[in-house]
């Protein structure tokens, strides 16, 4: 069995690039940065300490966070030393959203989510060797600080005029919701994080999404004012789909990295459905394939798009990175079996159940007729339509053709479930109560 940790150990940067910065730029990972020439030289020199922060605003990280984690991993592969920060304190406050105030979670909830996020981050970085990653929690240095100390030692270095110009703040000031002092102060807290990590570990680089640029530069500005030195930051672009839909969503739901919130099968299917216009950019950002390999997939997309070779490789690589080889192999087997290229009965119960949950599905009592199950799963609109489908020979259950109106759902597949098929492509899952 290959775990995510083993997958991490096998990753490598592309040696065809002269510098790490060149590869980051080619992969489309640099949208905004401090001095580019200085950053290129910094990343091409002796090992540095860098960090990226993740706030526990949910019990799982999502695909936007995965961009940051893979960017961190690329820097680590070049010999640099990562700090993975989980925001035990900033998670209690919440960074300003463009539209409305966040709902504050309880301290207990945030602490629980801190633990969950740490586990996910630890699966995607290496904690071995000379440049082993280290996990930190900003609650460790903010909790002991009094409000007076915070205002005197940190707050005095921030100018309100500058803070008001930050994109997230200005957007909220111009909205009906306005912004609370709590969220307005978020950038000060993040600036404090960078200062503390600079003092404790010599951290000289912060990475993050470009939408966080105002928060990133609050740290570089604070360190310049307090310590009199220049440190760096760069922001990755926000990823969008060519068709205008929001990246990282599937039918309105976020794609999470936690297997309980988004199964390996669902994650695999999400990547498999990537648009031809987007798949090459996704390969650059989310995989460690080389420039030559990605160029070849670009040719295949142009010349043989029906094979969906690039999508299959993308789905394989990302699902393996997040969940490991065994879970990915099971997801692929389920995908193939559901669409007639494998044995449904050979699947394990958990994988099959998670796959069926992604299909139209219904829960019925044992002995329910196939006709009623067709209606319950909405593969047909009515009983009469179900009877016609049976007469036309277009219905199967658990891989066997149904030719009788008296046929019932037996739940003969692993886990006591059934798979209904109407025609070649319309599928539904049936769970038995």
Question: Is residue 206 predicted with pLDDT exceeding 80?
Answer: yes
pTM beyond cutoff 0.85: yes
Pick from 191, 68, 75: which is nearest to 133 by CA? 75
pLDDT in the model for residue 202: 98
Most trustworthy range by pLDDT among 210-219, 250-259, 335-344: 210-219
pLDDT in the model for residue 253: 79
Contact 165, 187 (CB under 8 A): no
Percent of the chain residues topping a pLDDT of 90: 80
3-class secondary structure for 295-312? HHHHHHHHHCHHHCHHHH
* Ordered structural domains, the chain, with CATH: 4-238 (3.40.50.620), 240-342 (1.10.240.10), 359-433 (3.10.290.10)
Pick from 89, 86, 90, 85: which is nearest to 203 by CA? 85
Question: Is residue 79 predicted with pLDDT exceeding 70?
Answer: yes
pLDDT in the model for residue 67: 98
Question: Is residue 349 predicted with pLDDT exceeding 80?
Answer: yes
Measure Cα distances from 329 to 61, 333, 357 in Å: 23, 6, 18
The strand pairing partners of 256, in sequence order, are: 62
pLDDT in the model for residue 95: 82
pLDDT in tens, 241-294: 998 888 987 767 789 999 999 999 999 999 999 999 999 999 999 999 999 999
pLDDT in the model for residue 2: 65
- Helix 264-272 and helix 349-357, axial crossing angle in degrees, nearest 10: 50
Question: Is residue 322 predicted with pLDDT exceeding 80?
Answer: yes
pLDDT in the model for residue 176: 77
* pLDDT band at residue 172 under the 50/70/90 scheme: confident
Question: Is residue 48 predicted with pLDDT exceeding 80?
Answer: yes
Measure Cα distances from 63 to 41, 270, 306, 358 in Å: 30, 11, 26, 18
* pLDDT band at residue 21 under the 50/70/90 scheme: very high
The stretch 305-327 carries a mean pLDDT of 97
pLDDT in tens, 109-165: 999 999 999 999 999 999 999 999 999 999 999 999 999 999 999 999 999 888 888
């Amino acid at each position: 069995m290959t775990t995510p940790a083993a997958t991490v150990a096998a990753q490598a940067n592309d040696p065809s690039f002269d510098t790490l910065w060149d590869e980051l730029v080619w992969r489309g990972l640099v949208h905004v940065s401090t001095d580019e020439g200085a950053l290129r030289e910094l990343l091409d020199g002796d090992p540095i300490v860098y960090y990226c922060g993740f706030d526990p605003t949910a019990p799982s990280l999502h695909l936007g966070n995965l961009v940051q984690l893979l960017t961190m991993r690329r820097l680590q592969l070049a010999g640099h030393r990562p700090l993975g920060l989980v925001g035990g304190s900033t998670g209690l406050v919440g960074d300003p959203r463009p539209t409305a105030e966040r709902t504050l979670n309880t301290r207990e909830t945030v602490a629980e989510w801190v633990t969950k996020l740490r586990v996910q981050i630890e699966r995607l970085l290496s904690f071995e060797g000379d440049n082993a990653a280290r996990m930190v929690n900003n609650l460790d240095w903010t909790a002991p600080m009094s409000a007076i100390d915070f205002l005197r030692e940190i707050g005095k270095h921030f100018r309100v005029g500058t803070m008001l110009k930050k994109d997230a703040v200005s957007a909220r000031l111009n909205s009906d919701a306005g912004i609370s002092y709590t969220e307005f102060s978020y950038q000060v807290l993040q600036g404090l994080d960078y200062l503390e990590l600079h003092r404790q570990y010599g951290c000289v680089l912060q990475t993050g999404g470009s939408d966080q640029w105002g928060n990133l530069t609050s740290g570089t500005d604070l360190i310049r004012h307090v310590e009199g030195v220049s440190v760096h930051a760069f922001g990755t672009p926000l990823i969008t789909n060519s068709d205008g839909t929001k990246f990282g969503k599937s039918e309105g739901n976020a794609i999470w990295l936690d297997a309980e919130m988004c199964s390996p099968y669902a994650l695999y299917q999400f990547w498999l459905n990537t648009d031809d216009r987007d798949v090459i950019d996704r390969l650059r950002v989310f995989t460690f394939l080389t420039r030559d390999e990605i160029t070849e997939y670009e040719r295949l997309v142009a010349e043989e798009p029906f094979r969906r070779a690039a999508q299959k490789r993308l789905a394989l690589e990302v699902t393996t990175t997040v969940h490991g080889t065994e879970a990915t192999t099971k997801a692929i087997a389920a995908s193939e079996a559901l669409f007639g290229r494998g044995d449904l009965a050979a699947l394990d119960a958990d994988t099959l159940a998670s796959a069926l949950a992604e299909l139209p599905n219904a829960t019925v009592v044992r002995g329910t007729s196939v006709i009623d199950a067709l209606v319950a799963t909405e593969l047909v609109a009515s009983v009469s339509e179900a009877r016609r489908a049976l007469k036309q020979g277009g219905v199967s259950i658990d891989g066997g053709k149904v030719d009788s109106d008296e046929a019932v759902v037996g739940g003969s597949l692993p886990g006591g479930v059934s798979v209904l098929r109407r025609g070649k492509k319309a599928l539904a899952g049936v769970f038995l109560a």
